[in-house]
Amino acid sequence: MDPKSTAATLRVRLATFVQGLIPPTCYLCLDPGQPPALDLCAGCEADLPWLGPACGICAMPTRLPVDCCERCRAAPPVFDAAFAACHYEFPVIELIQRMKYRGELPLARILGTVLGRRLARCEQPLPDVVVPVPLHADRERQRGYNQAREIARYAARELGVPVADRLVRRIRATAEQAVLPASSRRANLRGAFAATPAAAGLRIAVLDDVLTTGATADALALALFAAGARRVEAWAVARASGAAAAPAQL
């Protein structure tokens, strides 16, 4: 194992250990957090940029709740439905980027918990398993962790749903989606994932930090449906709804 990967892995383990020792403190305002272990006070949680009415298929914000927006009717995604807790706006964007790119792993507890709590309020049937979007092995070794898996641990804990992080593998290294234009994201992920036969008959939620064009969720859904999955949903902490977001493209 290279020194950079070893250091990243140790950093993750240390962050998890320290997190369990310190009483929760709100990351945003430094007031006491919410017991037993949420580093976010009730006031700051209430002030998050929660996603309001949205399309039931792609989770794009709408003026009124709709089962299927016009874009999804014209070009439906591969996955069956999507859910996002928040708009991709401050402070959620800051929390996600600090966790993802600066290794601030304690933030996964905030992001996963608020996503799980929001999903629990929907009173919709839960999936059989949650599948975090997998990183390629090389990228995960370099980073030392998979941010989607860390978020999924806490979201799944809130919902009482198991995490199945070996159900799908990323078999082809790809460019990072965030640096690509929307028009290139689908091609970038073509053939990037492979699901195991254990997916057959399951209702699955694939989970990522941000849902943007939906290209990642579509690529995962293709692999899971090919393995016999019964239903595939896309879950994300935040929904990006700017010009780069297209209807049928996590």
Mean pLDDT calculated for residue range 67-79: 95
pTM: 0.84
Give residue 244's pLDDT: 39
Mean pLDDT calculated for residue range 158-179: 83
- List, as own/partner pairs, every contact residues 43-52 make where C-beta atoms lie below 8 angstroms and the sequence separation is at least 24, other chains included: 45/114, 48/85, 48/86, 48/91, 48/92, 48/114, 49/86, 49/87, 49/89, 49/90, 49/92, 50/85, 50/86, 50/87, 50/118, 51/84, 51/85, 51/86, 51/87, 51/238, 51/239
Give residue 188's pLDDT: 61
Nearest to 196 by CA among 141, 137, 144, 131: 131
Give residue 245's pLDDT: 42
Give residue 191's pLDDT: 74
- Is the pLDDT at 21 greater than 90, yes or no? no
- Three-state DSSP at 127 gives coil
Class of the 50-239 domain? alpha beta
For residues 87 and 59, the answer to whether their CB atoms sit within 8 Å is: no
Question: What percent of the chain has pLDDT above 90?
Answer: 70
Instruction: Determine how β-strand 168-170 pairs with β-strand 81-87.
Output: unpaired
Q: Quick: pLDDT tens for 107-149.
A: 999 999 999 999 999 988 999 999 999 998 888 888 899 999 9
* 89 to 36, 48, 94, 95, 237: CA distances (angstroms): 27, 9, 8, 10, 11
Residue spans of the domains in the chain: they are 50-239
